Amino acid sequence: MPAEVKFIQRRSHTREIDGSVIMPQVSINGTSKGELIDQQQKVVDALSEAAALMRAAMPHGRDFQYDPPAGIEAREDAMNEIATVQTLIDRHNLIIGFLVDG
């Protein structure tokens, strides 16, 4: 997550300055701040569990003894998939941080 995140207001949404994350707005008529945070935390928890399971299932060279290059490629693919999940975790943590600070 960036060390410093700046937010700008656009219509009914607040976005990260680069426009990549649309932040929810808390209002009387909407979902409560606490519930929004709880929802996002559940997503983070589930994605974190998925990432842990993916790391546990990481391809190992011993499973590619007859084709070592395939093992290297499989491991790289798995690492990229885990990085994608981590990006999602970071995005949802950013939303949590926005809600907590806002």
Provide the residue-wise pLDDT of the chain in tens; the chain has 102 residues: 444 555 544 444 455 545 578 899 899 999 999 999 999 999 999 999 999 999 999 999 999 999 999 999 999 999 999 999 999 999 999 999 999 997
Phi and psi for 70 in degrees, rounded to 5?
A: -65, -35
Cα-based angle 1, 51, 43 (whole degrees, multiple of 5): 65
98 vs 25: CA distance, rounded Å: 10
CA 82 to centroid of chain Cα atoms:
10
CA distance 91 to 77: 21
Q: What is the pTM of this model?
A: 0.79
Could you give phi then psi for residue 51, rounded to 5 degrees?
-65, -40
Amino acid 78: pLDDT:
98
Q: What is the pLDDT of residue 14?
A: 54
